[in-house]
Amino acid sequence: MIVSLDDAISLIRDGDTVAIGGAVLSRKPMAAVQALCESGRRNLELVTFAGSLEVERLLAAGALRAVRSSYVGLGSHGQARRFTAAAAAGEIEDLEESEWMLLGRLRAAAAGMPFIVTRAGMGSDLVSARGLREVSDPYSQERLLAIPALHPDVAIVHAWRSDPGGNIQMSWPPDHLADVDLLIARAARRVIVTVEQVVGADEVVANARDTVLYPFEIDAVVVIEHGAIPTALPPFYEVDAAALVEEQGEYN
């Protein structure tokens, strides 16, 4: 269950759809992202609910064919410049979806359903752009949008800690949008979790409330202290703003 970072990245193949956890500049599994950049993988579709630096690095590495997200940017630190330029130039496919559409697709996959119905997005250009179809509610005959399930080939998330068996814990109270990380893990076919530390099983059992993913849901656990830097892992460390500014400066 606990493996090297290289062994974990070997689960990703050229052409895969890879979902990355975290939200904007929080909980991004940046050590794993960097290893993926250095692996030489190509033609990946990246799924990220609220993307940031992972998009920029993977674009710089030439790894991506498409980005599926509801947002890509650096929050208060401005635009994701490389993504903005690549999307405008048509160098990658920008598969924008609304927040609820993307979450709905992942929820359908996690529940083992072929699609989920919603009113979200109806009447917008996204319906035709994504080739979505309407269905009728068999009870009221209301027309609803059918959002197809999205099964990433691989999900990568960063968490606080694990025990040797792969019981994954996040700190309490949960960080903003931490539930999305659990959703992408349960929607994906293969799951990599990077963690700050490994503790004994007794410690995990004593703090059972913090356990969020279980061994049967995970393919690989990698121990990487500060594995989210330069993004944050609340409440343990904050965004390294200086490193972020320096990295973005390299893209100018």
Interval 110-137: pLDDT, tens: 999 999 999 988 888 888 888 899 999 9
Interval 77-98: pLDDT, tens: 889 999 999 999 999 999 999 9
- pLDDT for residue 124: 87
Strands 115-118 and 143-148, bridge-based pairing? antiparallel
pLDDT at 140 over 60: yes
Question: By 3-state DSSP, what share of the chain in percent is helix, strand and coil, each rounded to 5?
Answer: 30, 25, 40
Interval 192-233: pLDDT, tens: 999 999 999 999 999 999 999 999 999 999 999 999 999 999
Q: Round the average pLDDT of the chain to a whole number and report it.
A: 95
Strands 17-20 and 154-162, bridge-based pairing? parallel
Nearest partner of 212 among 130, 149, 157, judged by Cα: 157
- pLDDT for residue 252: 55
Nearest partner of 49 among 216, 179, 144, judged by Cα: 179
Question: Where do the domains of the chain lie, and which CATH numbers do they carry?
Answer: 5-97+150-242 (3.40.1080.10), 115-148 (no CATH)
Interval 34-89: pLDDT, tens: 999 999 999 999 999 999 999 999 999 999 999 999 999 998 888 999 999 999 99
Q: Is residue 32 packed enough to be buried (19+ CB in 10 Å), middle (13-18) or exposed (0-12)?
A: buried
